[in-house]
């Protein structure tokens, strides 16, 4: 009788053991981490970019609040990737043509650099770049946790024969993941 | 003495005013996108959210949103919609168009507060829970949209700040892209054609040669009816055998006792 009961118990245990190991079911699992992009533009001096009063045919008129030179630490603007961001933030710039006077100043007369010397040769960091009406195909720089900010200096050329007047534009900074 | 203290307080106040005026403008534009890949059934509508906050700025961020890219027959709406508001900037009343504005000093908390202000939702970020303003993006697709279609929906945002006096006003731009896939409401799986095994393929290539080339020129989809084979798990098989053995043992004991 003992042998019979032992056999039954062993068989039941074997059944459970095989059942536990042979039916492995897998299911897919997924999770999405939300994308945070947080950019601050610090605008030195008066709010907005100003290029002052200039004569036609003058070049490289600086944004009035920036100081020039390769060792300058006072840019027109600083773009900062804030700590809530959890992605690398690609920075691109564009602008609209200057309008409002008796004519237009094409935005291609404006340029920017990541240092205060647009004539720096050889260029040490990011290149001097001409402004365009659409965001360029490639980013100017990518801001990361390690390198979270970039300083920007601006210059504007006034074409020869440009009509007198007050002109305005909009400079846009794109920060995208 | 009182006069001295009075002038001292006035002086501190004036210094404070001057410092406040000289503070650099900080234009902050914070956003969170909750989903980038969305599945939707034909004729259905799905709502996703964008969140906007302004922790680090010292100016009100005015945000306008528009649909930058979407299939023509899809209905994309943004809530709150673009609307006009009047704002007094340095004493001058101005009317602007925007979807929403976010004031500086968005709350950052260790946990979601008990009293959440109306129109604010707290989202978890790397610096804590951020009090952000949500924007609902509703995507509705036609009922005849083809299953398997994957399209890009892009929402373009522009953040502006008022009161800029320079020649060039500063704005920030940002695009939010979604990949929307059209799927069936119910799960179905149909095997269209049996994939040839490696060995079979080699034989066919040698034997059929040119005939196969001709077939490749005119590909056609064949629906192959397959007999569904139901496999019995090992544990079930062993379980049945075990039960049968146990029953057999009991029957054997029962018969033995009767004898």
| Predicted confidence (pLDDT) per residue in B23-32, tens digit | 789 999 999 9
Is there a domain that residue A1 lies in? no
Residues 32-71 of B with CB under 8 A from A: 32-37, 53, 55-57
Question: Which residue carries 């068989």 as its tokens?
Answer: A11
**Domains by residue range for chain B, with CATH:** 25-182 (2.60.40.10)
| Span B34-52, pLDDT tens digits | 889 999 999 999 999 999 9
> What does the pLDDT read at residue B225?
44
Q: How far is CA B150 from the centre of its chain?
A: 15
CB contact under 8 A, A41 and B172: yes
Residue A28 lies in a domain: no
Structural domain span for residue A167 = 36-177
pLDDT-derived band at A12, boundaries 50, 70, 90: low
Assigned domain for A27 exists: no
- Place A8 in a pLDDT band, splitting at 50, 70 and 90: low
Chain A partners of B128 at a C-beta cutoff of 8 Å?
Answer: none
pLDDT given for residue A26 in this prediction = 80
Does a structural domain hold residue A114? yes
- Measured CA to CA in angstroms, residue B194 lies from A139, A157, B217, B223, B225 at distances of 47, 68, 19, 9, 10
Using DSSP's 3-state secondary structure scheme, residue A93 falls into: strand
Q: Report DSSP state, residue A48.
A: S
Search chain A and give the residue with CA nearest B170: A171
pLDDT at B6: 55
In a domain, A110, yes or no: yes
CATH of the domain at A164: 2.60.40
The tokens describing A171, both together, are: 């400079």
Q: Is A4 contained in some domain?
A: no
Compute φ and ψ for A54, nearest 5 degrees. Answer: -135, 155
pLDDT digit string (tens) for B100-125? 999 999 999 999 999 999 999 999 99
Residue of B nearest to A38 (CA): B30
Total number of domains in chain A = 1
* Chain B neighbors of A62, CB-CB under 8 A: none
Question: CA-CA distance, B32 to B21, in Å (whole number)?
Answer: 31
The model's pTM: 0.75
- Inside any domain, residue A13: no
Residues B70 and A166: their CA atoms lie apart, in Å, by 39
């Amino acid at each position: 009788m003992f042998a019979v009961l032992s056999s039954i118990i062993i068989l039941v245990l074997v059944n459970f053991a095989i059942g536990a190991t042979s039916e492995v079911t897998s299911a897919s699992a997924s999770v999405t981490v939300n994308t945070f992009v947080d950019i601050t533009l610090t605008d030195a001096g008066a709010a907005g970019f100003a290029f002052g009063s200039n004569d036609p045919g003058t070049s490289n008129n600086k944004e009035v609040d920036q100081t020039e030179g390769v060792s300058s630490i006072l840019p027109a603007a600083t773009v900062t990737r804030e700590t809530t961001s959890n992605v690398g933030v690609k920075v691109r710039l564009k602008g609209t043509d200057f309008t409002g006077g008796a004519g237009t100043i094409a935005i291609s007369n404006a340029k920017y650099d990541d240092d205060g010397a647009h004539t720096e040769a050889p260029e040490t960091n990011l290149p001097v770049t001409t402004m365009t009406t659409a965001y360029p195909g490639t980013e100017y720089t990518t801001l990361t946790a390690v390198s979270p900010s970039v300083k920007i200096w601006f210059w504007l050329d006034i074409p020869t024969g440009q009509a007198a007047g007050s002109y305005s534009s909009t400079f846009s900074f794109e920060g995208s993941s | 003495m009182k006069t001295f203290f009075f002038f001292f307080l006035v002086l501190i106040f004036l210094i404070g005013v001057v410092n406040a005026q000289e503070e650099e403008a900080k234009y902050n534009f914070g956003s969170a996108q909750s989903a980038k890949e969305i599945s939707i059934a034909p004729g259905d509508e799905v709502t996703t959210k964008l969140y906007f906050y302004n922790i680090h700025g010292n100016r009100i961020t005015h945000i306008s949103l528009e649909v930058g890219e979407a299939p023509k027959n899809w209905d994309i709406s943004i809530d709150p919609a673009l609307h006009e508001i009047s704002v007094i900037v340095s004493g001058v009343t101005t009317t602007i168009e925007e979807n929403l504005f976010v004031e500086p000093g968005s709350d950052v908390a260790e946990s979601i507060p008990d009293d959440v202000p109306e129109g604010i939702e707290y989202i978890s970020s790397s610096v804590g829970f951020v009090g952000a303003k949500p924007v609902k993006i509703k995507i509705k697709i036609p009922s005849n949209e083809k299953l398997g279609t994957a399209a890009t929906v892009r929402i373009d945002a522009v953040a502006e700040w008022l009161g800029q006096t320079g020649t060039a006003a500063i704005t920030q731009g940002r695009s939010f892209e979604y990949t929307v896939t059209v799927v069936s409401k119910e799960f179905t799986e149909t095997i269209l054609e049996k994939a040839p095994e490696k060995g079979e393929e080699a034989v066919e290539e040698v034997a059929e040669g040119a005939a196969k080339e001709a077939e490749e020129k005119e590909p056609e989809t064949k629906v192959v009816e397959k007999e569904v084979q139901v496999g019995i798990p090992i544990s079930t098989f062993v379980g049945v055998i075990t039960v049968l053995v146990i029953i057999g043992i009991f029957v054997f004991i029962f018969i033995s006792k009767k004898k």
